Amino acid sequence: MDRKTNVSAILLAGGSGTRFGADGNKVYVQANGRPILQYSIDVLEAAEGIEEWILVVKDGEQDLAETLEFSKSWKLVPGGATRQESVLHGLAAAGGDIVLIHDGARPLIRTEDVDRCLEAVKEVPGCTIAVRSKDTIKLGDEKDLVLCTTERSR
């Protein structure tokens, strides 16, 4: 990254866990002895070039967030009623010229993914991380009738 470019990382942790089937927010569910959210925290803290870390938490869960392990100084920001509002709150707190946004319920991010995004934004105004689908996905209509099957190779 250019020395004049500041990078902020926003980690969203304001979900409810409803679809996940958890009693509470899924980011605090233990996976291999650690909260799911901790994996993303560790990766973002290890990534080169990030200078500001922002954790957007659900109202009433600040105490849960403070039980996590941080090696960097994180800003805790209250989330909104929707994911879009939570992102907006995180962006309002961010001071970076470049802002990375990650969903804390997605713990399999790797440092090299973050590095590739930071490299990509040197060439294009924005980027995202995606993986090819391993499952067969059907698109349906309003009556749940199959319209088509997506092509996995794409």
CB 7 within 8 A of CB 118: yes
Burial class (CB within 10 angstroms; exposed 0-12, middle 13-18, buried 19+) of 23: exposed
State residue 112's pLDDT score: 95
State residue 70's pLDDT score: 96
Q: What is the pTM of this model?
A: 0.85
Backbone dihedral angles phi then psi of residue 13, each to the nearest 5 degrees:
-140, 35
Q: What is the pLDDT of residues 58-88, one digit of tens each?
A: 988 999 999 999 999 999 999 999 999 999 9
Residues of the chain with pLDDT under 50: 2-3
State residue 14's pLDDT score: 80
CB 11 within 8 A of CB 37: yes
